[in-house]
């Protein structure tokens, strides 16, 4: 059975269904990151074996071994040093990426440039990521915990419109998409490009979607980030309104779903639900949701 080597420094436990763990070490004097992916078993969800699903278990390995994002505009992957596959999974080793303290404007400009990248027609590129994420929420029963909060009416309205909103973003220009562009996954810099990590959800999606995901963890407000994103977009790829709508839908549906998930985890305990808003596992998600109120208002009125 595969085990990390003694002396490896654990960076985090697996954050995805297939990620066993991530470690930092030095090999041959070279700082590297080791990521272990566990192969799905017969008892795991079938989506882990679906090459088009965002949760496809081996996409991170396929991305780096193909070299598809080593020279792309805007975002690039660090150089790969090794990929080792066995019966239980895959071990990826890649160069360590130093934190360059990239600003939100630099990062979103890079996301806009990356939207114009040509990824080809590889079968393992993710498709319909937002729709599949909402489908997961549907399987859990929607947003019932939010129905007990002050956003109940808004949440009910947007949940009822989710199909129409997803159809709208499906009609937007479909572009290259990192899929999980949180600031922690965009740490490095190489010239005018961002050195990005965690490419497990690479694929194609609606223009503006990566911006919407980034917005949920950004320090900056939407307008300057949108301007930077649009400056990076290749000319004629999409309009400002198209990019804005893609960002709005992605940010709002994701923020509401994450708030529901966080609240549902603590809702069963003693005491009123409102008294748990300050819970450390809940409060960050509610703060993110509050920041999206202008976007929520725009979707409700639209």
Looking up residue 274, the CATH number of its domain turns out to be: 3.90.1200.10
56, 171: one domain: no
168, 142: one domain: yes
Binned at pLDDT 50, 70 and 90, residue 70 comes out as very high
43, 76: one domain: yes
Q: How many domains does the chain have?
A: 2
Task: Please list, in sequence order, all residues whose beta carbon lies within 8 angstroms of the beta carbon of residue 9, skipping any fewer than 6 positions away.
Answer: 23, 24, 25
Binned at pLDDT 50, 70 and 90, residue 16 comes out as low
Q: Is the pLDDT of residue 39 over 60?
A: yes
Average pLDDT, stretch 273-286? 93
Last residue of a domain, one of 43, 77, 95: 95
So what's the pLDDT on residue 79? Answer: 82
pTM: 0.94
Average pLDDT, stretch 110-114? 98
Looking up residue 48, the CATH number of its domain turns out to be 3.30.200.20
pLDDT tens, residue by residue, 202-226: 999 999 999 999 999 999 999 999 9
Residue 76: CA count within 13 A, CB half-sphere: 17
Q: Which domain holds residue 135?
A: 104-301
Average pLDDT, stretch 82-91? 93
Q: Tokens 């985090």, residue?
A: 12
Q: Is the pLDDT of residue 14 over 80?
A: no
Task: Please list, in sequence order, all residues whose beta carbon lies within 8 angstroms of the beta carbon of residue 50, skipping any fewer than 6 positions away.
Answer: 56
Asked whether residue 80 is assigned to any structural domain, the reply reads yes
- Check the CA dihedral 283-264-126-64 and report its sign: positive
Q: Of 73, 57, 75, which Cα lies nearest the Cα of 16?
A: 57
pLDDT tens, residue by residue, 225-261: 999 999 999 999 999 999 999 999 999 999 999 999 9
């Amino acid at each position: 059975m595969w085990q990390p080597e003694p002396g490896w420094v654990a960076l985090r436990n697996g954050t995805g269904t297939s990620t066993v763990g991530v470690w930092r070490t030095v090999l041959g004097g070279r700082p590297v990151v080791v990521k272990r992916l566990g192969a799905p078993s017969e008892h795991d969800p079938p989506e882990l074996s679906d090459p088009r699903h965002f949760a496809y278990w081996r996409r991170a390995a396929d991305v780096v071994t193909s070299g598809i994002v080593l020279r792309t505009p805007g975002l690039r992957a660090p150089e790969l040093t090794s990929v080792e596959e066995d019966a239980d999974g895959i071990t990826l080793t890649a160069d360590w990426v130093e934190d360059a303290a990239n600003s939100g404007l630099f990062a979103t400009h890079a996301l806009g440039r990356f939207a114009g990248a040509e990824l080809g027609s590889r079968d393992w590129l993710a498709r319909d990521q937002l729709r599949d994420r909402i489908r997961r929420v549907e399987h859990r029963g929607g947003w019932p915990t939010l129905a007990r909060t002050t956003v109940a009416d808004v949440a009910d309205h947007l949940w009822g419109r989710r199909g129409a909103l997803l159809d709208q973003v499906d009609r937007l220009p479909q572009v290259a998409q990192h899929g999980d562009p949180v600031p922690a996954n965009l740490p490095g810099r190489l010239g005018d490009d961002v050195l990005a990590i965690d490419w497990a959800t690479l694929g194609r999606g609606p223009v503006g979607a990566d911006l919407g995901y980034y917005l949920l963890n950004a320090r900056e407000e939407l307008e300057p980030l949108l301007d930077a994103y649009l400056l990076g977009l290749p000319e004629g790829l999409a309009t400002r309104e198209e990019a804005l709508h893609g960002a709005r839908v992605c940010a709002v549906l994701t923020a509401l779903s994450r708030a529901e998930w966080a609240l549902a985890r603590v809702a069963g305990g003693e005491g009123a639900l409102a008294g748990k808003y300050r819970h450390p596992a809940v409060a960050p998600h509610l703060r993110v949701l509050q920041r999206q109120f202008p976007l929520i208002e725009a979707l409700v009125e639209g």
